[in-house]
Structures are given as structure tokens and as C-alpha cells.
Amino acid sequence: MKTIYHPADSRGFADHGWLKSHHTFSFANYYNPERMHFGALRVLNDDQVASGMGFGTHPHRDMEIISIPLEGDLEHKDSMGTTAVIRKGEIQVMSAGTGVMHSEYNKNKDELVKFLQIWVIPNQMNVTPRYDQISIKENEKINDFQQILSPNTDDEGVWIHQNAWFNMANFESGNAKEYQVHQPGNGVYIFVLKGSAKIGDQVLGIRDGFGIWETESFTLEALENSEILLMEVPMNI
């Protein structure tokens, strides 16, 4: 078993006024050669966008892009003709494939929007661009892992072009559960959204990240009521 610990305060940070963004991995002007990616997990940005502001139309190609709102409403428009609003309790995925243009704005004029933007390197290039969003609130599980993303079109959650599985863990204080890795060669990156947790001897606080690989399973324990995102991805890309 191998592990890596990324304290919340070790992340890159960019303050553009309208945008405040913490980068777990190298992104834009934040470059750390030791923090380029965790396997196929390339970007984990923790973004806060001011009311009425956002990212103007810009291109993407050959990347699986996942957005998970934490607060507020995020409006998405793209060159595929999609116009949509995503809210807390939902997950959005866009396969950029051969190329797509999109924009993201804070829908509201009087409150912040906070969301995670996650990029996963795909296992297929030049695919047809696609967009999807679903509610994950209605299937929410307490004290269990709730799958919100997989490689399978007919499985729970959204799907992407990669052998990756994302789970949300809403655990009450003191609850512990063993996580089974789906595929040999995969690792899991754990990101604490709320509360605190423990894996082995490693205690994790809010916005801490912890990668674990070369293991078939591990136990996640909540030290208080917690919300935790687990991202399982191939380590060899």
C-alpha cells in the first residue's frame, strides 16, 4: 500500500476577485512538478464564483470534465446546444472529445456559487462530445458509499470514458466502512468536503486530500458528521 497526503493549505490558490480557486494539482499559474496528477485524475479545483460572474466561452478537448456544485446555482452553456443549470445535489459531466466550447456562470445575482471542477484523463481520444447531468440527492445514502460516476452507461450515476468510479460518503460521526477497489491498478483519491475522517493512522480535515493505491481495500472512518468524495482512477496512464 502506498499513500500521499495533501493538507488543505498546501493547495495552489488563485484570487481573481470574481473567482477564488484552490488547486489540488497544477493548474493555470499554479505549477508544482510533484502535484501534476493522481493517476488519471488531472484536475481537482475547489472554486468560488461571485454573483453574476463566471467563465466565458472557452474550448476543451479530450478530457472528461465533472462539476459538482456545493452551494448555489451554476449555469452551463456549450457548443452542443446545451443550456442547463446545475445545483447542489446534482453532478454534471462533459466529454470534450473532438472539441467543445462552453461557458459557466453563477446563475444568481445575490449569492456565491461554490463547486468542484474535476478533470479525468480519458481512455479514448477523439470521442463525440457529450453532456449529461443527474440528481444524486434522490439516491443519497447515509453511512454508506453512494456511487455517482462509473465507466458504465447502465450503472448508478453518470458515466465517463475511463475506468473510474466516484462515490460520495455521507457518514455520521463514528461510522466506518471498508471501500473495495473496483479494478487492479486503480488508486483512490479522498477529498473531505465537510467534517473530518480517518484512514489508518491518517486524520483528514476539511478540504484535505489523501491518495491511496497498491491496495485492494481500505477503511474510511468519520470522526464527526462528514461528507467525503472518493475518486477511484487508474494509476497508470
Give the pLDDT confidence score for residue 30 in this predicted structure: 97
- Residues 163 and 64: their CA atoms lie apart, in Å, by 12
- Residues 38 and 175: their CA atoms lie apart, in Å, by 27
Give pLDDT tens digits along the chain (237 positions).
999 999 999 999 999 999 999 999 999 999 999 999 999 999 999 999 999 999 999 999 999 999 999 999 999 999 999 999 999 999 999 999 999 999 999 999 899 999 999 999 999 999 999 999 999 998 899 999 999 999 999 999 999 999 999 999 999 999 999 999 999 999 999 999 999 999 999 999 999 999 999 999 999 999 999 999 999 999 998
Q: Structural domains in the chain?
A: 12-135 (2.60.120.10), 145-234 (2.60.120.10)
- Residues 165 and 147: their CA atoms lie apart, in Å, by 7
Give the pLDDT confidence score for residue 181 in this predicted structure: 98
Q: Could you tell me the CA-to-CA distances from 96 to 47, 65, 176, 203 in Å, in that order? A: 20, 7, 37, 36
Kindly report each contact of residues 139-148 with a partner whose C-beta sits within 8 Å and lies 24 or more positions away, as own/partner: 140/89, 140/168, 140/170, 141/170, 142/170, 142/171, 142/172, 143/170, 143/171, 143/172, 143/175, 143/177, 144/169, 144/177, 145/169, 145/177, 145/179, 145/230, 146/170, 148/91
Give the pLDDT confidence score for residue 86 in this predicted structure: 95
Give the pLDDT confidence score for residue 55 in this predicted structure: 92
Predicted TM-score (pTM) of this structure: 0.97
